[in-house]
């Protein structure tokens, strides 16, 4: 074979982001040789992404000079040579600053290379009877083939130095006629699907991601997880991320027979369907959690605190968290007291102040506001920085306050005296009314998300901006 036996497994980065070259450990004697062509645990330890191969393909080539490619396919590939030798060429056809970047090398049975989705793959055999093998992480289909991007082997821009001139090589007529680089539409990144697109957080994500062609937004009417057709009708291979901004949040109504069923359907059954999709297709699932998964007995709630929900809403959110935590690639983003576009506590208080109404507001529930623009920014930060998967608390920063304190701030910002707001206990406020139990303390520790480089702004500044905007509208 002409290669060194028993080399340690190692990897080398290349000029194309994500393309990684491996030296494989080959063991031989007078009978021949043996290698572990693919060994998941060792490959991951060496730095290979856990790309989840599902299909193994082999290309057998009768004579030296057989040339195939350049094809960018809608999946990742782990490529090696079973027997013989090839000159391999790879061209980055993905949208971005490295579009058109080239890497070439020779592969024999002691080498392998990982090629991410959107990078064009080509090879030319250097020996007769060469077998070129590759693992892929999606099943071939006619629909998948329609997503291929092809580049002409003789493209002058990438200028690949084929060892055997193409005029003397064995090519297919299709490979001879593929377009040049300047005529190609680059391969776009995989898509992100945002569910709950018309809610407070969904609206903020729409604003933050405006103009991004790789993001799709869906309302419940457009994508119902309890309808099998919604799930089956999508080619999940084209997605990388699902952001679940949909939830049943009617805390008091969830204690009724009808509300209990709806809360479990939306917050648990639908979330379980999402988790199955994400796990099966290696997607990142971002799920929004709530301070209601805790009983509020502690002064501060860390991500490691045991779940202790008091009411049905909190129980369904806790159950949803437990389901999402089984997905290998997940972010559970736990938040509290969310304020965004549309109806919410701050908007209501600003409207009452404007109309001269003096409300009674609960003063024994303590927490911090979360403005949806900052919640959206924090979610996108986790995704953009590839932060470690897991659970993150995310609210605005600053001093903890009661609902009555916040109402007083709103009234002052509206030019009214704080004394217009009367503080009452939760028991007094809900006396004679059906109400769900609420955690008395909802202060979430922000240390973990701050360690990723995201610093949530202080709630007081965001409140001032929000109230002034609302007052201009009323």
- Which of 129, 132, 134, 389 is catalytic? The answer is 134
Nearest to 90, CA basis, from 108, 110, 114, 111: 114
C-alpha distances out from residue 42 to 8, 9, 22, 25, 373, Å: 11, 8, 12, 11, 42
417-437 in b/e form (b: 16+ CB < 10 A) is eeebbebbebeebbeeeeebb
CA nearest 311: which of 362, 264, 370? 264
Question: Distance (Å, rounded) from C-alpha 429 to C-alpha 406?
Answer: 16
- Known catalytic residue at 71: yes
Q: In what order do the strands lie in the sheet with 390-393?
A: 215-218, 191-195, 239-244, 284-290, 330-335, 390-393
- Helix H or strand E encompassing 257: helix 257-264
For the record, the structure tokens of 347 come out as 């908007």
Whether the CB-CB separation of 411 and 417 falls below 8 Å is answered with: yes
**Cβ-proximal residues to 177 (8 Å cutoff; 6+ apart), any chain:** 152
* Tokens describing residue 428: 């007094």
Residue recorded with tokens 């330890």? 45
Where in 74-188 does DSSP place strands (E)? 77-83, 86-92, 102-107, 111-115, 119-125, 130-136, 149-150
Nearest to 370 by CA among 290, 431, 295, 293: 290
Residue 69: name the closest of 143, 158, 176 by CA.
176
- On whether the CB atoms of residues 78 and 135 are closer than 8 A, the answer is yes
DSSP-based three-state secondary structure for 323: helix
Q: Cα(138)–Cα(214) distance, rounded to whole angstroms?
A: 20
Alpha helices (H) in 414-458, listed in sequence order: 426-429, 447-450
The verdict on whether 139 is a catalytic residue reads no
Half-sphere exposure of 52 (CA within 13 A, CB side): 14
Q: Which two tokens stand for residue 452?
A: 């990723």
Catalytic residue selected from 27, 60, 71, 330: 71
Cα(226)–Cα(215) distance, integer angstroms: 22
In angstroms, the CA 348 to CA 48 distance is 52
Residues with catalytic roles: 71, 134
């Amino acid at each position: 074979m002409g290669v060194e036996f028993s080399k340690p497994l190692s990897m080398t980065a290349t000029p194309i982001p994500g393309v990684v070259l491996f030296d494989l450990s080959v063991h031989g004697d007078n009978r021949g040789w043996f290698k572990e062509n693919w060994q998941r645990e060792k490959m991951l330890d060496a730095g290979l992404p856990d790309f989840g191969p599902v299909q193994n393909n082999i290309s057998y080539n009768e004579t030296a000079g057989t040339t195939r490619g350049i094809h960018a396919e809608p999946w990742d590939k782990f490529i090696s040579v079973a027997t013989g030798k090839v000159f391999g060429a790879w061209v980055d056809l993905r949208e971005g600053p490295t579009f058109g970047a080239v890497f070439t090398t020779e592969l024999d049975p002691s080498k392998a290379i990982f090629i991410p989705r959107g990078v064009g793959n080509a090879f030319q055999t250097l020996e007769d009877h060469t077998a070129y093998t590759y693992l892929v992480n999606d099943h071939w289909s006619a629909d998948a083939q329609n997503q291929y991007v092809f580049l002409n082997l003789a493209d002058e821009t990438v200028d690949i130095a084929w060892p055997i001139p193409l005029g003397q090589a064995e090519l297919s007529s299709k490979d001879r006629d593929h377009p040049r680089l300047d005529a190609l539409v680059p391969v776009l990144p995989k898509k992100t699907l945002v569910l709950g697109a018309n809610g407070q957080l969904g609206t903020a994500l729409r604003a933050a991601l405006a103009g991004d062609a790789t993001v799709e937004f869906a309302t419940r009417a457009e994508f119902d997880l309890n309808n099998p057709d919604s799930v089956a009708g999508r080619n999940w291979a084209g997605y990388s991320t699902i952001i679940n901004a949909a939830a049943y949040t009617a805390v008091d109504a969830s204690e009724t027979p009808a509300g209990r069923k709806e809360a479990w359907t939306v917050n648990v059954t639908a979330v379980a369907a999402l988790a199955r999709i994400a796990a099966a297709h290696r997607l990142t699932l971002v799920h929004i959690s709530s301070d209601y998964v805790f009983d509020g007995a502690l002064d501060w709630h860390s991500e490691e605190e045991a779940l202790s929900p008091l009411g049905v809403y909190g129980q369904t959110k806790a159950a949803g968290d437990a389901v999402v935590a089984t997905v290998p690639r997940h972010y559970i983003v736990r938040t509290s007291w969310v304020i965004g576009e549309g109806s919410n506590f701050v908007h209501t208080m600003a409207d009452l102040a404007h109309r001269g109404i003096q409300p009674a507001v609960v003063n024994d529930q303590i927490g911090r506001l979360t403005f949806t623009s900052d919640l959206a920014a924090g979610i996108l930060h986790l995704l953009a920085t590839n932060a470690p998967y897991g659970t993150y608390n995310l609210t605005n920063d600053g001093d903890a306050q009661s609902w009555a304190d916040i109402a007083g701030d709103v009234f002052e910002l509206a030019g009214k005296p704080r004394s217009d707001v009367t503080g009452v206990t939760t028991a007094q406020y809900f006396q004679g009314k059906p109400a769900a139990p609420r955690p008395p303390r909802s202060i979430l520790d922000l240390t973990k998300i701050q360690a990723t480089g995201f610093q949530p702004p202080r709630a007081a500044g965001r409140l001032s901006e929000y109230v002034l905007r609302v007052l201009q509208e009323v």
